[in-house]
Amino acid sequence: RPPWPGRGGAMKLVIQRVAHASVEADGVLSGRIGRGLALLLGVEQGDALEQAHWLANKVIKLRLWPDLKDPGKQWAASVADAGYELLVVSQFTLFASFKKPKPDFHQAMGGDEAKALYEAFVEQCRKGLGDPRRVATGVFGAMMQVDLRNDGPVTVELVAPPSGGSSVVSGESPSGASKKAAGTPKAGGKPPGSSPSGAGAAAVGASDAAFGAEEEALLQPQPYFGGFAPQRIDAE
C-alpha cells in the first residue's frame, strides 16, 4: 500500500471479475450474482464517507470487459455499461500487518463506524447502477464463505485517495510521488547528484533512444488504469 503518512486512511477494494459469485454467512446464503464484480472492501482507521462514495462511483465505471458489440476491443465496458452485478463483502483483513507471524489488524477500522461506511458504499453502488437488485452483499462482521469463478482471471486493487489525494489502481503511484517530483531519478537512471559517464552514459542514451512507439504500443492493454504512464523499465 502506498504510504501517505499523516493523511488519514486509504479505503481499498480488491476487485475480481467473475462469471458468478456467492457468499454465505453462518451457512445461510446471503448474496449471489451472475456475471459482474466480486468486491472485497477494506475500511481503514481514518477513512471517511467521501472515500466510500468515491470508490463506489469509480468501481462501477472501471472498464474490465471487452466491448459488447466488438469483442475484439478489450477493456472497453464497465459493470454499468454491460448491465452486470456487484457482490460486496467486507474484508478487514486487507489491512493486516505482520511485524510477527500473527497478523495485526489494528490498522483496520472496527465496530459501528466501519459498518456505517460499508453500508454507505453499498448504497452508493445501488444508486449508481440504478437498480438495488444488481448489488448483493455479505453480512458485515460475520464469518463468511465466498465462492466465485474468476473470469480471466482478472483481479485489480483500487485505493481511495485520502482527503485531497489522488487514487491508486494496482501499481499506480499517487500524484505526490510522481516521477515529476524534484530529485526523483527516471527508471533505470542514477540517483540525484550523480551523472552517467563514459560507456554508462552511452548505454543509457542508446536505451532511451530505442524506447519508442513500438514499446509504447505494447503497454496499452490496460487503458482503465487512470494516469498510467509507461516508463522504459516497463518495456524491459
Query: 3-state class of 215 per DSSP?
Result: helix
Q: Which of 93, 184, 220, 231 is catalytic?
A: 93
DSSP designation for 226: T
Q: Which of 16, 91, 124, 137 is flagged as catalytic?
A: 91
Q: Is there a contact between 59 and 15 (Cβ–Cβ < 8 Å)?
A: yes
The active-site residue out of 92, 121, 140, 211 is 92
Alpha helices in the chain (DSSP H): 49-59, 79-82, 111-129, 198-210, 213-218, 232-235
20 neighbors 34 (Cβ within 8 angstroms): yes
Catalytic residue check, 74: no
d(CA 149, CA 202): 50
Q: Among all chains, which residue has been given the C-alpha cell 481503514?
A: 44
Q: Which of 45, 17, 154 is nearest to 104 (CA)?
A: 45
Question: Rounded CA gap, 235 and 217, in Å?
Answer: 10
Catalytic residue flag (residue 107): no
Q: Catalytic residue positions? A: 91-93
